[in-house]
Amino acid sequence: MDLVLDDDGCAICPKCQMRIHCGTVGLSNLTIRHMGSKVCCETKAKCDKEKNTKNSTILNFFNRPKPTPIPSRLTAATTIYSYPSTSNASLDSGSINFENTVVLWSKPAGQPISDLLAKLHSLIKRLPASVPEASAHDSLAVFEVDPKEFDDPSLTADELWEATLNGLLKSVLGWGMDQNMDEIIRRGPKGLDGLASFVEYFTRRGVSEALFEGKLSYLLSALERK
């Protein structure tokens, strides 16, 4: 990895991936004073641990047994009607039973159901063409799969967040400002589009939008600067 100073006089450490301010001394401040230091070694060890955790988490998801499908209880005599969400603006989804008639309502497919999703979709659309298309080797590629792969119908939304989603997002996006978002931000289904679909699925599943906001705040800030 070539060491290059950016316009702010900073460079990315090839060992720990931290963005180091080199000051007037230049790159020697990075190569002599930082690389191999205690901070550098501890940060590198933390990053390596998170990568291993990510790989282990993903493998566990794909190797776990599939949940047993629950057969439908609707009989041939049951009538199902679609109830437009525009007529029930205060309701997102649900059902009402009237003996053999079931009335279902839901928001139109593809429509963002939260301010967070609307903001995320907007920032993705305005990404400059200079942002690369994600490949299978990029961090966000894990979200390209069907979000149901990460779901567990036996858990409540809060339990699912604690057992699965929280750790998965940390392993990919990091624990805070320690991750270089420029290396994570990528366009396409293996990039931010896949992440948006993941967030939308689990928001509809009932996971609190506020939980996702906490994990995506640094990413959103980086997107706003693009």
Total-model pTM = 0.52
Are both 188 and 219 inside the same structural domain?
yes
At 82, is the pLDDT very low, low, confident or very high (cuts 50, 70, 90)?
very low
The range of the structural domain enclosing residue 58 comes to: 1-66
pLDDT band at 196 (very low <50, low <70, confident <90, very high): very high
Which tens digit of pLDDT belongs to each residue from 106-140?
Answer: 444 444 467 899 999 999 999 999 999 999 999 99
* 160 in Cβ contact with 151 (< 8 Å): yes
The answer to whether residues 193 and 117 belong to one domain is yes
* Same-domain check for residues 132 and 40: no
Instruction: Provide, rounded to the nearest whole percent, the portion of the chain with pLDDT above 70.
Output: 68
Give strand ranges (E) for 44-197: 79-84, 93-98, 101-106
Residues 88 and 10 in one domain: no
Same domain flag for 184 and 81: no
The residues pairing with 104 across neighbouring beta strands, listed in sequence order, are: 82, 95
- End of a domain among 34, 66, 98? 66
CA distance 133 to 135: 7
Residue 10 has pLDDT above 60, yes or no: yes
CA distance 191 to 123: 13
- Of the candidates 2, 195, 55, 205, which has an alpha carbon nearest to the alpha carbon of residue 117? 195
Domains in the chain, number: 3
**Domain end position, chosen among 109, 141, 165:** 109
| pLDDT confidence band for 103 (50 / 70 / 90) | very low
220 in the same domain as 122: yes
In a shared domain, residues 205 and 126: yes
How long is the chain?
Answer: 226
